[in-house]
Amino acid sequence: MRLCDVTLREAVQLSDREYTVDQRVAAGEALDRLDLPFVQAGFPAVGEAEREVTATLTDRLDADVVAIARGVESDVTAALETGADVVELFVPVSDKQLAHVVGRSREEMYETASEQIAQIRDGGAQPHLTLMDGFRTDERAIASAFERFDCPIVVADTVGARTPSYVAGYLRTLADLGVDLSRAGVHFHDDLGCATANALVAAQTGVDRIDVSVASLGERAGNPATEEVVTAIVQEGGDPGVQTEQLIPTAESALDALGESVDARKPVLGREVTTHESGIHTDAMLADPSTFEPFDPATFGGQRRLVFGAGTGRGAARKLLERVEREATDERVETLLDRLAAEGPVELDEALSLANDV
């Protein structure tokens, strides 16, 4: 299973965002510290900025840089001119998109894709094919694409319409129709709040590639969050194929480069996720942090925060006193609780200093 980070390409589709070339290049260089197999850089046919970002990152990143193109010769030419390692062809395949986006039949789109895939290969890049709205397309039509094209194929949930149970059943049906899922990739959107779960289900079926985006930055509700997918795979005992100890600092660096921030309660990245203040929590976590944690933040380059204040209980106060080798008498416990209530919330080091003073 290989991850393709699509942050740089997807984030620019947000309606209220505008990033400079330098911002996107800096974010791409940050992402490269994860040792990702693929980084999707941009859509070169759109304009000079997209071409510059893609060409610059192709020169600088160890990851294979992906440029996207529609099924037209000029798009593919623009992508090839950047020197991108991979040119990914986007082809609508659902009945709705064929009728309302391109006004052509599926067979016509497949014929066009054949021509452009040949153009990509002739241009010296690796071709990938994304079937837009694939998860709302009859499985037999998708299976026929795997028979017809000898390149990696990404099946997209373009409008974020699918759930984990549907994705699992759909991919099993493709396998039953003879599709080798090790040639398949998946691209999800989070409109139903299911993108990360869908990505994890797809990984369990054996697909080769999963598209992810830091903090879910992307069109509408975004994509599977890079940090969530990596963390969940590790928690399940799997190998996400990236430098896990760089996950959180890399994601933060990429967000800083783009001038983005995350909600304090954002899974994995939000500061409240690894901050513990409840009296019963801090008491137990002073003895064993895993008591109230799904994962050790240090595994992914982060850190936990234990916070002490008015909500701190007697058990936690005793443990703080014991940490600094002070006898936890009832009087000292009450004095420490009063100090914490007056001066808190404070983090562990300052709480220990207060404990040492009483």
Q: What is the pLDDT of residues 307-319, one digit of tens each?
A: 888 888 888 888 8
**Is residue 348 scored above 90 in pLDDT?**
no
pLDDT band at 10 (very low <50, low <70, confident <90, very high): very high
User: Mean pLDDT, to the nearest integer, of 254-276?
Assistant: 93
Asked whether 152 and 185 are in contact (CB, 8 A), the reply is yes
pLDDT band at 279 (very low <50, low <70, confident <90, very high): low
pTM across the whole model: 0.90
Query: Residue 293's pLDDT is what?
Result: 84
* Strongest mean pLDDT among 164-178, 276-290, 322-336: 164-178
Place of tokens 């795979």: 233
Phi, psi of 277 (to 5 degrees): -125, -25
User: Mean pLDDT, to the nearest integer, of 1-11?
Assistant: 97
Query: Residue 321's pLDDT is what?
Result: 92
Cα three-residue angle 142-96-194, rounded to 5 degrees: 70
Between strands 346-347 and 305-308, the pairing is: antiparallel
Secondary structure letter of residue 98 according to DSSP: I
Query: Residue 292's pLDDT is what?
Result: 81
Q: What is the pLDDT of residues 222-264, one digit of tens each?
A: 999 999 999 999 999 999 999 999 999 999 999 999 999 999 9
Query: Rounded to whole angstroms, how far apart are CA atoms 88 and 211?
Result: 13
Query: Residue 315's pLDDT is what?
Result: 87
How buried is 30 (Cβ within 10 angstroms: 0-12 exposed, 13-18 middle, 19+ buried)? buried
pLDDT band at 199 (very low <50, low <70, confident <90, very high): very high
Query: Residue 167's pLDDT is what?
Result: 98
- Lowest average pLDDT, out of 83-92, 156-165, 297-306, goes to 297-306
Query: Residue 284's pLDDT is what?
Result: 79
Q: Is the preceding omega at residue 345 within 30 degrees of 0, hence cis?
A: yes
Query: Rounded to whole angstroms, how far apart are CA atoms 140 and 165?
Result: 19
User: Mean pLDDT, to the nearest integer, of 71-100?
Assistant: 97
**Is residue 287 scored above 80 in pLDDT?**
no
User: Mean pLDDT, to the nearest integer, of 312-327?
Assistant: 89
Q: What is the pLDDT of residues 121-138, one digit of tens each?
A: 999 999 999 999 999 999
Q: For the chain, give the mean pLDDT.
A: 95
**Is residue 282 scored above 80 in pLDDT?**
no
pLDDT band at 70 (very low <50, low <70, confident <90, very high): very high
Asked whether 133 and 96 are in contact (CB, 8 A), the reply is yes
User: Mean pLDDT, to the nearest integer, of 102-112?
Assistant: 96
